[in-house]
Amino acid sequence: MNEESMSDPQQFIFGYGSLLESRSRVMTSPSALYASPVNVVGIQRGWFGRVVSASLSPTYLGAVSDPNFNCNGVIFKVSRQELEAFDNHESGYKRERIDQKNIAMLDGSKSAPEGDIWFYAVTEKRFASPEFPNTEGSRGRDVLEYRDRASELEEGRSEVGDGA
């Protein structure tokens, strides 16, 4: 029997920052090339994700559970082993479960897939400052462009492309 028995629920990750990009996802999990656009009720995204380390500590996009906010992004399927690899990759964040009823699929699916759906939350909001600037480099711009594209999908102003 393989590591994921029939009784184990499928595992999914909700990506709202760097995991929006397929290139970023496949660095940890080659099978995570394709993802479905979604909108999640109860998650706030912002430039307050700073992982404290001895080296440079730029501020990244982070997210927290908050019933007053919505966050668009993508979900993708992972194995239990890949989930553990993402836990290591997203060190400094804590993995939190998302209730399926809070997810609106933007790919035409009627409901979120059955299984456990997770996101990586910051443990504390640490806002950008001159000492800890946000990551407005090319990756940060790519994330913002994807976020804007996801907003267009949500509003019906665009169509899902080839997985880019």
pTM of the model: 0.74
Neighbour-count burial for 67-93, b at 16+ CB within 10 Å, e otherwise: eeeebbbbbbbbbeebbeebeebbeeb
Q: Which amino acid is at 56?
A: L
pLDDT in tens, 40-81: 999 999 877 666 555 556 667 789 999 999 999 999 999 999
Report residues of the chain scoring pLDDT below 70.
1-7, 49-59, 125-164
Closest CA to 13 of 26, 146, 136, 150: 26
pLDDT at 139: 46
pLDDT at 120: 94
pLDDT at 126: 66
Sketch the domain layout of the chain as residue ranges.
11-151
Residue 119: how many CB atoms within 10 A of its CB? 27
Write the class of the CATH domain 11-151: alpha beta
